[in-house]
Amino acid sequence: MESINGARRTEDIALDLLKFVASHANVGNKSAGSTGFGLPTSSKSEDQVTHLLELYARCREVVEAPVEKK
């Protein structure tokens, strides 16, 4: 078992990054109820899941990218 002070896994860091980006970009949130006027703004659940999975993959790429030494 890894100690509490051990390094975090890249998957955990990528997931935290996904949560941060998604909350600030309103990705995956259900829109408020509509009165029936205007264009529908919410996409299908499947599209939202696909978008979140793609975003998670991009977050993992960023987290796992090698860091250049100066």
Reported residue count of the chain is 70
* Per-residue pLDDT reduced to its tens digit, 29-55: 665 555 556 555 556 888 888 999 999
The model's pTM is 0.63
Cα–Cα distance measured from residue 32 to residue 47, given in angstroms and rounded to the nearest whole number: 18
pLDDT above 70 coverage of the chain, percent: 67
Structural domain includes residue 52: yes
Domain count across the chain: 1
Structural domain includes residue 70: no
Find the mean pLDDT for residues 4-17. 80
Work out the mean pLDDT of the chain and round it to a whole number: 78
Which contiguous run of DSSP H or E holds residue 19? helix 10-24
Closest of 22, 15, 20 to residue 51, by C-alpha: 22
DSSP 3-state of 58:
helix
pLDDT value of position 42: 56
Range of the domain at 10: 2-28+44-64
Output 50 or 2, whichever has higher pLDDT.
50
